[in-house]
Amino acid sequence: MTVVNEIYDDFVRRQLPPLEEWPDFQLDDFIYPERLNAAVDLLDKAVAEGEGERPAIRNDVGETSYATLKDRSDRIARILVEQEGLIPGNRVMLCGPNSAMLITAWFGILKAGGVAVAAMPMLRKSEIEALVAKAQVSHAIVDFGCRGPASAIAESELGSIMFYHGDVGSGPLEARMAKAAPGFPPVETGRDDPAIIAFTSGTTGVPKGTIHFHRDLLIPADAFAAKVLRPPRGASWSATPPLAFTFGLGALVLFPFRFRGTSVTISNTSAQGVLDAIARHRISVLFTAPTSYKAMLATGIKSHDLSSLEICVSAGEHLPSETWHEWHEATGLRIVNGIGATELMHIFISAADDDIRPGATGRVVPGYTACVLSKDGDVLKEGEGRLAIKGPTGCRYLDDARQASYVVNGWNVTGDTYRLDCDGYFWYVARADDMIVSSGYNIAPPDVEFALSTHHAVAECAVIGVADEARGQIVKAFVVLAAGTSPDQSLKRDLQNHVKASIAPYKYPRAIDFVESLPRTATGKLQRHLLRDALP
């Protein structure tokens, strides 16, 4: 333990997996000082270097400068330590939609030496209870809008809960901040001290808590952002995913502050809301999911002012080549595709500019090593297999037996099936647990979903395998119809024939259900397991 404090809560460190279950870390290109507090590196150093008047956060409520953000986060840290009894290593839950206050509190927690545990703002009480119990949360900072589910924290036997009122500034925490003394000497944490516990989004069932150190928060900025995106200094960054999702944390906190930019929080993340925010706040870097890009295209995107937009990043789900081409044709911008994982903090395979091959996820991000593994665990030079990663970040689950299945022989094995070509490009096939085996054929759901999505009647779709006595499994599709389309048997046959004409006929959906919506996580990821669980 390297934190400079006489008293330290070592709960998180005691819940780390045994060293022999850690992945092989590649840290030679990412050297940081032994004493490191990520909040200081990202925020306080900017103010110390004369950037205090630079806009740090902007949204429809107003603008916050770097100096103001530092002052407010200092006051939160002081309240946590001096009034709420936080000691370094305590876990502090954050719950609320993306806002300036949420980001301020995140910085304050790290400055106080706490471990930030961000929760998706739409979680229900039982889900919050599970996270509180798993992380042994001792304190919480919560938006008023989440006060119902957050009662799980207040009712627990753990520490304190403080409420704030969005960015309006009229909540109890804001009143305490106004009275708190300015300035706070940040706790001198170490580069390998726990900084956050990030919970997976739950696409495959029970969420897992992943422990990341202070150095892990800087690495995605110094790897993916610096070496793939190569962003201009002072850019305006925005994202639709919640800050609780590491994809959103990178886009809204780690990257903007590492490159002295501005974080723009969007309250309305509908397609129209995002397009309006881009124009209103002159957003230059946008992070969102493929479904969001597709939804924006459907609004008649050419009528919107996107002149400020310079970089578009997609992750969270596979980006179909059709969506990439449509966006490029409509905007002139080439979407930067990527795959990341909560377990590895952020994106580790991607490509930008002339390196982009539409339909491919990309090549390995500098600093990382990637391969595909055969069924026997052998590294394949090319071909199809399980995606495996080594790099400067990696999986450390919080007291979870699933560590042993995610980390295999030093590799982080993501659960995705990929094809690696001779040029080092990785092409998404499917989630390994989503693969359908029908009459001996392997069928990847995204192949069928893409074919269906090209039909004019289809707004959204999802494909799963269902048990069948004759074939083992058959392909079943759940289809959300485009506006003005009526569901009937004739349309089902038309969709089936459309798929047969687009891809190998054995892949067509033998069963189709028309539905109003599809189950997705807060980050936009399709939850096929919920469709499977709902089957009779």
Whether 397 and 443 map to the same domain: the answer is: no
User: pLDDT for 107-118, tens place per residue?
Assistant: 999 999 999 999
According to DSSP, residue 414 is labeled: E
**Strand partners for 372:** 380, 387
Cβ distance 363 to 355 under 8 Å?
Answer: yes
Average pLDDT estimate for 367-383? 94
Domain membership flag for residue 108: yes
Whether 407 and 461 map to the same domain: the answer is: no
Gap between the Cα atoms of 264 and 277, Å rounded: 9
Domain membership flag for residue 506: yes
CA distance to 138, 235, 298, 375, 493, per residue, from 483 (Å): 48, 37, 11, 44, 19
Name the residue with higher pLDDT: 515 or 154.
515
Q: 420, 444, 475 — which closes off a domain? A: 420
Residues 6 or more apart in contact with residue 332 via CB below 8 angstroms: none
Whether 248 and 344 map to the same domain: the answer is: yes
**Bridging pattern class, strands 55-58 and 336-340:** unpaired
Domain membership flag for residue 293: yes
Residue 200 above 80 pLDDT? yes
What is the 3-class SS of 130-170, one letter each residue? Answer: HHHHHHCCCEEEEEHHHCCCCHHHHCCCCCEEEEECCCCCC
Domain membership flag for residue 3: no
Gap between the Cα atoms of 208 and 81, Å rounded: 28
Average pLDDT estimate for 222-228? 98
Helix (H) or strand (E) holding 117: strand 115-119
Whether 394 and 465 map to the same domain: the answer is: no
Whether 251 and 280 map to the same domain: the answer is: yes
Gap between the Cα atoms of 67 and 50, Å rounded: 9
CA distance to 16, 117, 152, 246, per residue, from 90 (Å): 15, 10, 18, 20
Domain membership flag for residue 450: yes
Whether 44 and 122 map to the same domain: the answer is: yes
Gap between the Cα atoms of 221 and 219, Å rounded: 5
Whether 237 and 386 map to the same domain: the answer is: yes
* CATH code: domain of residue 470: 3.30.300.30
Count of domains observed in the chain: 2
What is the 3-class SS of 223-254, one letter each residue? Answer: HHHHHHHCCCCCCEEEECCCCCCHHHHHHHHH
pLDDT score, position 159: 64
Expressed as residue numbers, the domain containing 267 is: 11-420
Q: What order of strands is seen across the sheet that includes strand 511-514? A: 458-468, 472-481, 511-514
Q: 366, 394, 420 — which closes off a domain? A: 420
The mean pLDDT value of the chain amounts to: 92
pLDDT score, position 2: 45
* Residues written for the chain: 536
Whether 275 and 239 map to the same domain: the answer is: yes
- Mapping DSSP to helix (H, G, I), strand (E, B) and coil, where does residue 196 land? strand
Gap between the Cα atoms of 393 and 387, Å rounded: 16
Whether 457 and 387 map to the same domain: the answer is: no
Domain membership flag for residue 6: no
Domain membership flag for residue 214: yes
Q: 360, 395, 420 — which closes off a domain? A: 420
Which percentage of the chain shows pLDDT scores above 70? 96
Whether 291 and 394 map to the same domain: the answer is: yes
Average pLDDT estimate for 76-90? 97
User: pLDDT for 444-476, tens place per residue?
Assistant: 888 899 899 999 999 999 999 998 887 878 999
Its pTM stands at 0.86
Domain membership flag for residue 47: yes
Least confident window among 74-88, 97-111, 136-150, 195-209: 195-209
* CATH code: domain of residue 356: 3.40.50.12780
User: pLDDT for 129-145, tens place per residue?
Assistant: 888 889 999 999 999 98
Q: Which of 99, 85, 120, 94 is nearest to 9 (CA)?
A: 85
Whether 207 and 354 map to the same domain: the answer is: yes
Average pLDDT estimate for 14-20? 97
Whether 221 and 111 map to the same domain: the answer is: yes
